Amino acid sequence: MYDYFGDKRRLFLAILSDVSESLLATGRRALDEHLPEDRPITTVGQLEAALTALAIDLGTTVVGSADYSAGFALVAQERLRTPTTDDDIETAPVQAAFAERIARFAEDGLLDTDTPRLAADHFSALTLLLAYERQPVPATADLDEIRQIMIDGAHAFIRAYARREGHRPA
């Protein structure tokens, strides 16, 4: 390994790169499948169904993955040794793409937000982050519980962000 990578640092960075690429591909695939640009979503009900499907897809794929969990654990261990925010698994491009879709739903009058990126972060917190907190070990992850967390999180997101006549969330 050291002949190929040279040192621990370059091995660590290579692992981060591989996990990041895989996670980005997973996220883009899920966004394209559940919130495609070419299939209009015209009602809050359709949007909730699409967001729920997206959340379940990502939750069962990401939270239940030993590879992703190992990558996140590796980052956490490295931060304990060398506090830095420079070395992380890259999620920004998928979050940005999701925020763009949220902005489109706001423009279409389905969601009420002036800060699509914050709304995307809230969606992640209500779904993926909560599932990781409750199911931290992929080998023992309960996929039914992950699915329920995703359903509940998508529903809570819609309750918080869906546009209502004469009402604007704080």
Say how far apart CA 164 and CA 51 lie, in whole Å. Answer: 18
Helices 44-58, 143-161: axis angle to 10 degrees equals 150
Contact call for residues 84 and 134 (beta carbons, < 8 A): no
| Tokens coding 52 | 């729920």
Say how far apart CA 79 and CA 82 lie, in whole Å. Answer: 5
Mind listing the pLDDT tens digit for each residue in 95-125?
Answer: 999 999 999 999 999 999 999 999 999 999 9
Mind listing the pLDDT tens digit for each residue in 64-106?
Answer: 887 888 888 788 787 777 766 567 778 889 999 999 999 999 9
Say how far apart CA 58 and CA 73 lie, in whole Å. Answer: 18
Q: What is the pTM of this model?
A: 0.85
Q: What are phi and psi of 162, to 5 degrees?
A: -65, 135
